[in-house]
Amino acid sequence: MNIILRLAVVVGCFFAAIACFVFAAPVGGALFIVAGVIFEGLMWRGVFGVAKPGKH
């Protein structure tokens, strides 16, 4: 994946997670908290990546 596109996806997931957490706090929406956790997980996966076989 292109480094610029990967960085854009990571930053987008970061801000989406923050937005979900901020919106869920006053409303008490469990769905937004779950969405925030999912976006945060995607962000961390994009930061660290997934090890591919054969690459050390």
Q: Looking at the 3D structure of the chain, how many domains does it have?
A: 1
Could you tell me if residue 54 is inside a domain?
no
Could you tell me if residue 6 is inside a domain?
no
Contact between 35 and 20 (Cβ < 8 Å): yes
Task: Give pTM, 2 decimals.
Answer: 0.66
Could you tell me if residue 5 is inside a domain?
no
What local confidence, expressed as pLDDT, does residue 20 receive?
82
Give buried/exposed letters for 10-43 (b at 16+ CB in 10 A, else e). beebbebbeebbeebeeeeeeebeebbeebbebb
In the 8-state DSSP scheme, what is residue 52? P
Could you tell me if residue 44 is inside a domain?
yes
pLDDT tens per residue, range 7-50: 888 888 888 888 888 888 777 778 778 888 888 888 888 777 76
